[in-house]
Chain A
Amino acid sequence: MMGCERMETDGMRYLDGEMSLQEKSEFEKHLDSCRACREAVAQMNRLGILTRGVVIKDPRDSFWDGYWKSIYRRIERKTAWIFILLGGILIILYELYRAVRDMGELTISKIAIILLLTGLAILLASVVRERIHQRKVDRYRDIKR
């Protein structure tokens, strides 16, 4: 199938109605003298009959129920998580500061609380740092046309 190089360019434009009348007429003259293009056009026209006879089914209206709400919730949730994480880090750091300030006599339970709060602060800070890093390397951030 398709032994003439014109098929890849002019042939496609001819089949897809992308030619001016003059170009179309000129290509039809070429078709008269080029068997390879004639056969290729005939084959692709048959394929065209198949594709033109069908459409992609549109979903029912109910399909769109909740479509926007789901997007909105996820946008909203992202903001909420940022606030929660930042708030959590601040609270933990403040409690840690108070624990160290009012330390008095060091007991096992005080050490455990300090360790726990320090661990939580590191964990939350790591999540925030990861978020910021993800944002920096996000392939969609700098998409421009």
Chain B
Amino acid sequence: MERTTEISRETLLEWKKGNVRAFEEIVTVTRQRAYSFALGLVGNSEDARDLSQEAFIAAHNARKSFDADKPFFPWFYRILRNRCLNFIRSRARKREISMDILIEKASTEASPDTSMIRKENAEALWKGLFALSEEHREVMVLRCFYDLSYREISETLVISEGTVMSRLFYARKALYGILKDRFDESQMEGDDA
């Protein structure tokens, strides 16, 4: 996923004035990241798309309170996160999480059996992530799938780096417990990372 979400100060200032074209540019640059982060919180593609769009609309309505000298995404992420958390806590019917979200990083030559095990591991991992609390899942997703540094996670979630470490520790501990059976040697076949 693209990590370069640089938006010029000029564009941000134009957007603050209400320029919709500038906002379109901001959305185009950040939509992939917004969708992916929402996906890590809500677990399925359709809701992640809807919530990321809602968050962009909310951000546009709140644009006057945005400081154009600061990066856009951490500010926006707080809006997105609130939307996602409200959605998770208020949804009347529990929608199933999509199970085909995680895919192998590199398709290497593997026997059908190994491929099946890897697919099952990926599904178990995704399911395991959704057995964690939102706070723990969030840091895991930001760190393990989007490779954000502690500083970036700390800025994005507006928490200290110490809290980032602590949440990662308990998230990993819990996830290891959930996936313990998977760590049988035979289950890890084909992994050499």
Instruction: Give the interface of A toward B (CB within 8 A).
Output: 1-2, 7-9, 11-13, 16, 18, 43-44, 46-59, 63-64, 67-68, 70-72, 74-75, 135, 138-145
Q: How far, in whole Å, are A141 and B53 apart by their CA atoms in the complex?
A: 17
B56 and A47 within 8 A (CB):
no
Q: How far, in whole Å, are A58 and B31 apart by their CA atoms in the complex?
A: 12
Query: Given B49, B103, B140, B158, which contacts A57 in the complex, CB threshold below 8 Å?
Result: B103
What would 18 A/B residue contacts be, using CB atoms closer than 8 Å?
Answer: A9-B162, A9-B165, A12-B165, A12-B168, A18-B150, A44-B176, A46-B183, A47-B172, A47-B179, A47-B183, A50-B188, A53-B121, A54-B104, A56-B1, A71-B57, A140-B58, A144-B67, A145-B70
B97, CB-defined interface residue at 8 Å: no
Main secondary structure of the interface of A (DSSP, over half): helix
B105, CB-defined interface residue at 8 Å: yes
Chain B CB within 10 Å — which of A63, A138, A140, A144 has the most?
A140
Residue ID in chain A nearest B86 by CB atoms: A139
| B38-79, CB < 8 A from A | 39-40, 45, 49, 53, 56-62, 65-67, 70, 74-75, 78-79
B169 and A47 within 8 A (CB):
no
A50 and B49 within 8 A (CB):
no
> What's the count of A-B pairs with C-beta under 8 Å?
146
Min CB distance B50 to A, Å, is 9
A18 and B193 within 8 A (CB):
no
B11, CB-defined interface residue at 8 Å: no
B176 and A53 within 8 A (CB):
no
Q: How far, in whole Å, are A48 and B78 apart by their CA atoms in the complex?
A: 27
